[in-house]
Amino acid sequence: MKVITRTASKTLRGRHLTLVWGIHDFPVGKILVALSAEGLCWLGINCDRAALAKNWPGAELVEDANVTKKAAAEIAKLWPAKLDKLSVPLVLYGTPFQLKVWKELLKIKSGSLTTYAAVAKKIGEPKAVRAVGSAVGKNTVSIVVPCHRVVNKDSGRVNYGWGPAVKLALLKGEKAA
DNA sequence: ATTTACCGTGCTT
DNA sequence: AAGCACGGTAAAT
């Protein structure tokens, strides 16, 4: 899978950017897929245009499910085990720290879990556990960047931007595969 | 069982 | 430009 990274803060990343978006079916719910000219840059679960607009201030949003249909179908088909085969490039917009965290998440194998502390250690910032927590939460491309495979150290407790139920459904689906 | 310290980000002032 | 609230974990109280 091709991964493009762009350094940008949340407030600036939407400027001069046109996003084509559409809502499609996925095993754990509806996904909102948004593509820039470069590739897949946002994926939300059970959300609407407002959530997209909030995350990409300044961006021009064009709804066209025909354009996003192909990418969405591919994601649904490749999930959970073969997402790295995605033909659409993945475009990551974030601060240098967030990019480090997200790229680390990409290395987590389907079906396995890690903790925020382990990720912090891997990127060489062992004390920045909390920062890792917030970076994971700000991930722009859920499912493809497996933010749901990161759990609290004291197992069990689940915290997820799209709702704990979605996180559990994703993990369950990957476990089966 | 509660509190403290640690870090990066985004929102508010 | 400065302050504040978040978020996960280990260590100290």
Q: What domains, with CATH codes, occur in chain A?
A: 3-91 (3.30.160.70), 96-176 (1.10.10.10)
Scanning every strand, the nucleotide with its C1' closest to A11's CA turns out to be B10
What integer pLDDT is reported at residue A176 of this predicted model? 62
- Cα angle value A151/A154/A160 (rounded, 5°): 30
Share of chain A above pLDDT 90, in %: 90
Q: How many CA atoms lie within 13 A of A91 on its CB side?
A: 18
Q: Does residue A155 have a pLDDT over 70?
A: no
What integer pLDDT is reported at residue A107 of this predicted model? 96
Share of chain A residues as helix, strand and coil, in percent rounded to the nearest 5 = 35, 25, 40
Q: Which residue is nearest to nucleotide B10 (CA to C1')?
A: A10
Q: Is the CB of A46 under 7 A from strand B?
A: no
Residues of A that are catalytic: 147
Average pLDDT over residues A100-112: 95
What integer pLDDT is reported at residue A112 of this predicted model? 93
Positions of chain C reached by protein Cβ under 7 A: 6-10
Q: Does residue A24 have a pLDDT over 70?
A: yes
